[in-house]
Chains A and B, each alone.
Chain A
């Protein structure tokens, strides 16, 4: 049952992405409106799939690749839809929907794999740790997505570009607010996630800090996050500079994450 729901969610994510693409290319808001409702369906089916999995297996799903990725997709979709309620940021879907789609496709690849979870990871804090860190990073991705849109819109307005693209994009204030909202919500989540990770690490490995590449990377991401929030809330920076920082940080973090995943051994894994 959960697999069926997941497959429906995957299909819906694909349709939604196509809808946003059409909306973006043809400059029609209507297509984006429909796509948003389809994305809401993705959210509903992901929630159901996830819930059923948890109930039937009786254990947390956050320790398998499939579980982790579908949770990340769930956070992205949910976060985006939440913002959609507040502002008319429809076209941001052109960034969020392909991201969700790719994540779900990768998750689909691991759907049948029964993860053999390392026994030492069976501590109760680990799923919470994973959930919090993922939620935090998901919001960071959303913040940067809004940042990218901001840079585009800022350029269109500054260059006096006429045409419908600019009209389709959300206002600068909305995008900036979106960026801020994601940072404000994401940073505490990531902080708590790291803290819970540290606690479980000290019980599992004996020390909270292992100089593990993944740990270093996470702390780096946390630092970037904190820097952005500091600039925003303390120095009162707004607008283009913040957007530029968000996007640059995300790109750097993604590149370094792939490098970490690809080339460095890590003890920070599930199986």
Chain B
């Protein structure tokens, strides 16, 4: 059994391609089933966020699994498998474990330490569980990843890292507006990331908040946190005319904010500046908006470049986090190694024999009354019962190991017998 991870992120693939890879939530489960349908693949998990698309699997055959995933992804991207390879990274076994842990702990994020990614990994896990494309090996791996992420969060300062997308956005806003006092920010889509950015902007003097969200109740809820005002989604144009800074983060498949909409909003605002921040993938704001005079558009890739400048400052915390991750990898490996059939069988036999020995010893008072011959017969009897009981499970386990990889049985066995 091997682990395989095939994926692309904000560093390896342009935003256009990542947009192409975007799957509507209702199609995700079909995609998972399709991926799990390949003969080489045993378990599979599909993680898709703003910045990444990743397929994590336990496979019987690494090369075949790789081929299958490349083919699936290339179909989605409408590229040939050869072409898509340029944008992909492929990790195997320990490399795959490390990558997943780094992703979950937000070390591989565009904004290191951002809290959203862990939730997204958990979401991907939940979907895989619902689709039943995940079992023992990946299940345990994911839980270990959650653990690693929590440790990184609590034991390093990465989580409080001020160099988030919001700070990059605040600095840009200052470059444009000079002073943020009295400015109005409009959130289009009420995600966790945009909330974070809004909080940061408020810290630097922004005074008014408008929230436009497809689900109006969520808009109301977020707006009330900032004494802001919810805006019905179809009145977006009006809200644009009032806003100085717009943060767009909807999951909509197309552009929510178009050139004409912005131009119309600008007409009634007498040459004020408009700063558009697009942190959604697929993008929410038509790139032509950035060409309009006095309008400045930044998408997540642009913000990434700014964040990168400050990379060095965080290396100390990053190093701490990497150590935690190595520790967690070791724990997982230990568990994974324990899944080999032979040690499990030995452990099982050892445990049962131990029990029978103990029980015999406990009965020593009346066994002593027997003569030597009978005493020997009792112990032979116990031994043969134990062997008979263990015979079938061990045989089946060995068969399964040869044929399918018996991780599920082994892990179940270990759990049931507390090995």
Which of B111-119, B176-184, B203-211, B252-260 forms part of the interface with chain A? Answer: B176-184
How long is the Cα–Cα vector from A236 to B273 in the complex, in angstroms?
A: 12
Say yes or no for B402: interface residue by CB 8 A criterion: no
B117-144 vs A: 1/0 string, CB under 8 Å? 0000000000000000000000000000
Contact across chains for A238 and B294 when beta carbons are under 8 A apart:
yes
Contact across chains for A171 and B294 when beta carbons are under 8 A apart:
no
Contact across chains for A167 and B175 when beta carbons are under 8 A apart:
yes
| A contact residues around B293 at 8 Å (CB) | 239-241
Say yes or no for A246: interface residue by CB 8 A criterion: no
Determine the residue in chain B with the shortest Cβ distance to A166. B175
Say yes or no for A185: interface residue by CB 8 A criterion: no
How long is the Cα–Cα vector from A153 to B296 in the complex, in angstroms?
A: 12
Contact across chains for A162 and B309 when beta carbons are under 8 A apart:
yes
Say yes or no for A114: interface residue by CB 8 A criterion: no
Q: State how many angstroms separate the Cβ of B192 from the closest Cβ of chain A.
A: 25
14 sample A-B contacts, Cβ–Cβ < 8 Å, listed by A number: A157-B296, A160-B302, A162-B305, A162-B308, A167-B175, A171-B175, A172-B177, A177-B178, A236-B271, A237-B271, A238-B294, A239-B271, A239-B294, A241-B293
| B contact residues around A166 at 8 Å (CB) | 175
Contact across chains for A238 and B175 when beta carbons are under 8 A apart:
no
How long is the Cα–Cα vector from A172 to B174 in the complex, in angstroms?
A: 9
| B contact residues around A162 at 8 Å (CB) | 305-306, 308-309
Determine the residue in chain B with the shortest Cβ distance to A236. B270
Say yes or no for A120: interface residue by CB 8 A criterion: no
A171-202 vs B: 1/0 string, CB under 8 Å? 11110010000000000000000000000000
How long is the Cα–Cα vector from A238 to B171 in the complex, in angstroms?
A: 22
Segment 234-252 of A: residues with Cβ below 8 Å from B: 236-241
Say yes or no for A170: interface residue by CB 8 A criterion: yes
Chain B contacts to A: CB under 8 angstroms: 171-172, 174-179, 270-273, 290, 293-294, 296, 298, 302, 305-306, 308-309
How long is the Cα–Cα vector from A160 to B308 in the complex, in angstroms?
A: 13
- Known contacts: A157-B296, A158-B290. The answer to whether A173 contacts B176 by CB under 8 A is yes
| A contact residues around B290 at 8 Å (CB) | 158
How long is the Cα–Cα vector from A87 to B177 in the complex, in angstroms?
A: 12
Q: Which one of B271, B294, B306, B309 has the greatest number of beta carbons of chain A within 10 Å?
A: B271
| A contact residues around B305 at 8 Å (CB) | 160, 162
A46-69 vs B: 1/0 string, CB under 8 Å? 000000000000000000000000
Q: State how many angstroms separate the Cβ of B206 from the closest Cβ of chain A.
A: 14
Q: State how many angstroms separate the Cβ of B309 from the closest Cβ of chain A.
A: 6
Contact across chains for B298 and A160 when beta carbons are under 8 A apart:
yes
Contact across chains for A174 and B178 when beta carbons are under 8 A apart:
yes
Contact across chains for A172 and B298 when beta carbons are under 8 A apart:
no
Contact across chains for A171 and B174 when beta carbons are under 8 A apart:
yes
Q: State how many angstroms separate the Cβ of B120 from the closest Cβ of chain A.
A: 26
Determine the residue in chain A with the shortest Cβ distance to B308. A162
Q: State how many angstroms separate the Cβ of A84 from the closest Cβ of chain B.
A: 14
| B contact residues around A157 at 8 Å (CB) | 172, 175-176, 296
Q: State how many angstroms separate the Cβ of A110 from the closest Cβ of chain B.
A: 41
Q: State how many angstroms separate the Cβ of B131 from the closest Cβ of chain A.
A: 40
A139-175 vs B: 1/0 string, CB under 8 Å? 0000000000000010001101010001101111110
- Known contacts: A158-B296, A160-B298. The answer to whether A172 contacts B175 by CB under 8 A is yes
